[in-house]
Amino acid sequence: MTAFSTDPIIAIATAPGRGGIGVIRVSGPDLGAWAERLCAQPLRPRHAHYLPFRDRHGETLDEGLALFFPGPHSYTGEDVLELQGHGGPAVLRRVLEDCLARGADIGLRLAQPGEFTQRAFLNDRLDLAQAEAVADLIEASSTAAARSAMASLSGAFSAEVDALSERIVQLRMLVEATLDFPEEEIDFLEKYQAAERLGGVTAALDGVLRTARQGLVLREGLHVVLAGQPNVGKSSLLNALAGEDIAIVTPIAGTTRDRVVQQIHIEGIPLHIVDTAGLRETEDTVERIGIERSWAEIARAQVILHLQDARHPDDPLDADIVRRLPAGVPVLRVWNKVDLLGHGAGSADRSVPGQSGRHAGREAEDSSDPLLISAHTGAGLDALRARLLAIAGWMPGAESPWLARERHVRALEAAREHLQTAAGHAAHSDQVLDLFAEELRLAHEALCGITGQFTSDDLLGEIFSSFCIGK
């Protein structure tokens, strides 16, 4: 995205493709006179006018509604004109091209991705966290995510951050006033209970950070890769979790040759499940390529679900697979096909023969005990879902009131580190009061980066360029 400009901008604001309604949005300073020339009639603010959309030669291109929103009381804070007509791509393109031609004299140009929302941010209609929530609301893949994105857009997250910032600012004011008048010899840390007040701010920040981590999980979910030998039931498990036949399932080993990706939701949390080719030695060229891609997918996984056949618990090939799994990634060991064992579907006190312990060399990454399931009957799948949520850090029943992004969590963690460092200085004496004040300043800046009070142009460009055009 280029540097901010005040050129009038225009874009189709509805999604590509056919639809009942299509919207063209124009934003810029002092658009009123141009908008009335375009529509060939006066436009009352925030009033829907039904009229024909005629081109500069008088030909009717479409008919629909024109709405004019004078700035600053508009989405962008500038004058905004919206033309709402029929949603066919061809007719929208004709209206758009005519508007561009008739707006050449005022410098009208096509908007870049996210430029309308960027202007809303720069004109103080939204803070940065709210602006990001606009994109999150559009991209929400579950009801829970949409509800939380709407809470962020309404300012719930920003209010929490602003409250923390205000408490830090009050403490900074007292510290810096003391630094300005050292002759008063005030024992600041004791007189103003600085350590206690700092502890209260840190505790409040910890609460916001916990909620932000929940919001991050709700927004981004988990990248889960199904790994294992051929014919252990990876594709059957994918179908069972998805609730539909996504992957082809046959008794023939090596049926899956390339990855199959499906997004599912567990309690509103998106899980990106990847079915991969069975891992084994093979002379088949196509299958070998699929296996190479499987290992590449495993290397990118956030969680590896190692599926094994419960009828063959001591297969040495599974031990070879375990040794090759990347370190530091949670691995769920899942024994499938327990329905074929002939004596139950895996009760809580039952163990798989020969596998009561953990695989050697993977104690740090294996996630608790093995799970016994049947992708065919559905036995054990609820326990598997619960284990995946636990790995994601999701607390059932504790839905985040707002969404968060990775940068929000990093900023909150940075602020907490600075507050902890400040607490260390407070434990000594007023001789380090200037260091105490500096850590408070850095914590305040980290929080302000969330809402955009202190944000680099590069970060703004990265954030808004990910938006869709027209928003």
Separation CA 201–CA 221 (nearest Å): 29
The answer to whether 144 and 397 are in contact (CB under 8 A) is: no
* 254 carries a ligand binding annotation: yes
* 250 carries a ligand binding annotation: yes
Separation CA 175–CA 425 (nearest Å): 13
* 446 carries a ligand binding annotation: no
Question: Taking the CB of residue 143, how many other CB atoms lie within 10 A of it?
Answer: 10
Nearest CA among 239, 259, 241, 242 for reference residue 250: 239
Separation CA 136–CA 389 (nearest Å): 21
Separation CA 463–CA 452 (nearest Å): 11
* 252 carries a ligand binding annotation: yes
* 368 carries a ligand binding annotation: no
Separation CA 244–CA 249 (nearest Å): 12
Separation CA 434–CA 235 (nearest Å): 61
Question: Would you call the peptide bond into 16 cis, given omega within 30 degrees of 0 as the criterion?
Answer: no
* 149 carries a ligand binding annotation: no
| Residue count (the chain) | 471
401 SS3 class: coil
Amino acid at 229: Q
* 184 carries a ligand binding annotation: no
* 276 carries a ligand binding annotation: yes
Separation CA 221–CA 270 (nearest Å): 5
259 SS3 class: coil
Separation CA 177–CA 430 (nearest Å): 13
Nearest CA among 301, 298, 343, 287 for reference residue 321: 298
* 344 carries a ligand binding annotation: no
* 202 carries a ligand binding annotation: no
- DSSP code per residue over 150-213: HHHHTTHHHHHHHHHHHHHHHHHHHHHHHHH-GGG---HHHHTTHHHHHHHHHHHHHHHHHHHH
Nearest CA among 454, 447, 422 for reference residue 437: 422
Using CA atoms, how far residue 282 sits from 234, 278, 279, 306, in Å, is 19, 10, 9, 20
* 256 carries a ligand binding annotation: yes
Using CA atoms, how far residue 271 sits from 131, 142, 146, 222, 260, in Å, is 25, 11, 16, 5, 14
* 235 carries a ligand binding annotation: yes
Separation CA 282–CA 92 (nearest Å): 54
* 129 carries a ligand binding annotation: no
* 461 carries a ligand binding annotation: no
Residue showing tokens 């009942």 = 20
* 142 carries a ligand binding annotation: no
Question: Could you tell me which residues are annotated as the binding site for K(+)?
Answer: 231, 250, 252, 255
Question: Could you tell me which residues are annotated as the binding site?
Answer: 25, 82, 125, 231-236, 250-256, 275-278, 471
Question: Could you tell me which residues are annotated as the binding site for GTP?
Answer: 231-236, 250-256, 275-278
Question: Could you tell me which residues are annotated as the binding site for Mg(2+)?
Answer: 235, 256
Question: Could you tell me which residues are annotated as the binding site for (6S)-5-formyl-5,6,7,8-tetrahydrofolate?
Answer: 25, 82, 125, 471
